[in-house]
Chain A
């Protein structure tokens, strides 16, 4: 199978005051195209840092990241942004909708960035899929948390990404709403055949993916397939 994400020998450290803080140490793993993959670990284990590096939002101190066939080290910031626009979708714990755009406008941004002529109609279809077509002209502040995350889901799938990164997608939602959002996420993912990388500390959620990578103290503890395989 094709590897969509190849991480090898990744290291990341930050300088905090006088001290050097190593957040990730010697991380190597691969994600296959179409696979559902989760990264789990306690708070401070380096999950979010790893996500940032995988998606090209940050640079490692050493090691390499190959995303969709591109070595991120060889790309500048704008090229990485272009790669994200074409190949990557995001779902964040805090939804991260653009507060000054309506739900419809939020969903259409990735498509408009590509210059897609049918951005609006495609976005409407996506909002219909997440059940929010009647609220498409609402601003994020006028939507509930669950609704905001559904808009974020629609936006994440708008550019038909090859890989989707979800950072604690239910972290800000109650159990019932969280469950609805996760169901929607997996349904949309199945329909689109997208590779899904979920970052979470919720083991139940991780167990619904095909592979689980466990992080602790910035190092990989295990990287195993789940029962779903």
Chain B
């Protein structure tokens, strides 16, 4: 028997066919492309923002630090530390501390950060002053540089003087910016720079004052800073000092934005997933509609490969085009960010335009379209030409092929999340979560169909029965639409809930404000003066907390210095170096909750001192109930035992402590006090601050009212970014829903026309449609929100490590909102059926 010689259609013909078909199907393909565009735009924008932030941090870390590396210590350097510092020959040094200053001109007082500097700091970046030369000659002139905003607030001019502790200096320059100060810290405690030589004379550095000594180094380009850090850091650590290189600073800064970046990544992942769902559901219906045409093509002689390739080319083309448009929109969005984030980042955000995001966008657009369209596309391969002659059951795709495609999709999602999150566990969790949600929704849809079938209300009216019937009879769209609506709602809900998680913490701080003035650094002999001033002005004493500073000497019989040398230690570094501010009291306070052990009110003389520690401290210091800890309290060693472990809500704006002693131990130790009070208005607050600083120059007053305004402002900006990205992804989700439901139009239109032809009224067709979409919308959205609730709980617990208190919005707004949306689109789908003659519709919708 002879063989058939192959036919020779050129490859270009496949492209021609793909183009011809696409031209005539443009409306459906635009819907499909919307999903890709929005998904890619969100991914590109978020990824660019995250990259830009990281790159800028790296780039500008030197400028931020002002030096190549810094050695800092919170105490006067020990002899050994000083020897190391000197041997490396510092190029400049600084001591800084928070203190109240006064302007003699108008008696204004303000909490500032005093920075006593010697040498040519900064070596990188700039100290921006007016006049410009003030930054280089303030030391020789013996004058101060004062923060520009502060001068403006108090009406101070160049040449006026500033009183820092006991020293009064002329203001020789207006300070606009200086490395090491962010907009945030500047607003709370604006910087005042004075020559180092005057620090002693201020008499502000006394026992108990919080201070930081910094030694700045400029290194040659060939010096390996990481090697230096590895070599010197352990030695310095033993002396309670620290070495920071500009590279480690950039890492730390990067970490500070971790949760925001994590959230943005989550939003990007979700936006992409939403896009994928959009693609899968639109292509599913699109290809279903094309099967007959493909069967005709096969009748005319097209091979399986040719039929498949025509549509693969079409979908890939749309994917690439969507990816390109999406990337361009994403870049456009990213260009907006620097304006928004300007003041909460400690550096200027420079946006650079590179071809990489466009390439990534196009690649992603291509990959996600092809992969998510592959399952429906496979039908083009398996559809029989016999479909031309009769309505036949669709050919089943081989199980292995389906499994392979599912596996490819999962691998793609996993690799994408890995690229996005750069964390194997999170990537696995993200993909696993999405898969579980998918399975639950698919199973729910199937179960629902079975349920309706089994308990079908045969006695109900025709329209109700028809609406219900649509859910499970051939050509039903139940599984596809519940998956699309459910996954869409699930992802949108997740985003909303996690946004809540991120923003909730800030709200706690903002609402728990009773005290609005905190008076710090009051030594025992100054207590009476503070109490007197508070009483004179009838200001309430809300807290009067004694503070005793101490360091750890021994943990469970091991010397801290010994633990520091141990490279395999499990105790966290900060525990070993930190100077702890502890307090003593008889009761627990509102922000504390006893987790383990027993709270001891008063220590019995002659026994080991029972202390209470926070859970964070316990885990970082590897301590359990009953363990012994020896503290060095200003030179006196004090043996204690862990009697209780508390959970502390650090989010509350009040004084919280890692270590609390019982009464009867520290009363005679050198200590200072913290008072909190509430001033009724700004004038009372300002007058009180002025008088107290006049009497006690070393006292530090934090005006929480100002802090709250500033924090609120910063959080507003972060919230803006978070909200923006969340809303962007939610809009993507809505478009996907619209696209999914819209494509279902072609499933129902012929049936509606037929019903109308055989006499159904518009009202009846409307009722049938309303019922079908109402069921689908309700079930999909409720399942989606429930799934989002569970997964957000997990995200809060494991990813953001924040408590999760669900908001009601997704339930009261999303469920009815999405159901309504599904209903409206469903109804708009049959609008043409209701307003035109059946024949007209059939012709138009072919």
Contacts and interface: CB of A to CB of B under 8 A. Distances in A.
Interface residues of A, number: 41
A58 B392 CA distance: 12
B844 A141 contact: yes
A75 B297 CA distance: 18
Interface in A101-133: 101, 105, 109-110, 112-115
Contacts of A99: 24, 293, 846
B10 interface: yes
B388 A96 contact: yes
A90 B299 contact: yes
Interface string B297-308: 111111111100
A60 to B, nearest CB: 12
A172 B843 CA distance: 14
B6 interface: yes
30 contacts: A51-B389, A52-B389, A57-B386, A58-B386, A70-B4, A77-B303, A78-B305, A79-B4, A81-B301, A81-B304, A82-B6, A83-B301, A84-B301, A85-B301, A85-B302, A86-B7, A96-B292, A99-B293, A100-B21, A100-B23, A100-B293, A109-B17, A109-B297, A112-B16, A113-B7, A113-B9, A113-B306, A139-B24, A140-B846, A159-B301
Contact of A98 (B3, B13, B16, B297): B297
Interface of A: 48, 51-52, 55, 57-58, 69-71, 74-75, 77-79, 81-86, 90, 92, 96-101, 105, 109-110, 112-115, 139-141, 155, 159, 167
Given A100-B23, A110-B301, A155-B300, 5 more contacts: A86-B4, A86-B301, A98-B21, A109-B297, A110-B300
A117 to B, nearest CB: 10
Contacts of A75: 4
B350 interface: no
Nearest to B388: A96
Contacts of A98: 21, 293, 296-297
A31 B10 CA distance: 34
B384 interface: yes
Given A52-B386, A140-B846, A113 B300 contact: yes
A101 B10 CA distance: 19
A81 B388 contact: no
Nearest to B13: A112
A64 B360 CA distance: 54
B20 interface: yes
Given A78-B304, A86-B301, A105-B20, A114 B384 contact: no
Contact of B299 (A74, A84, A100): A84
Nearest to B300: A110
Contacts of A48: 389-390
Contacts of B389: 48, 51-52, 57, 92, 167
A57 B846 contact: no
Contacts of B390: 48, 52
Nearest to A74: B1
Contacts of A79: 3-4
Nearest to A66: B1
A78 B301 CA distance: 8
Contacts of B306: 113
B8 A115 contact: yes
Nearest to B292: A96
Contacts of A101: 20-21, 24
B745 to A, nearest CB: 16
Contact of A114 (B8, B16, B292, B297): B8
Given A70-B2, A112-B16, A57 B384 contact: yes
Contacts of B302: 81, 85, 113
A82 B303 contact: yes
B24 A90 contact: no
B514 interface: no
Contacts of B299: 55, 57, 84, 90, 96
A174 B727 CA distance: 57
A79 to B, nearest CB: 5
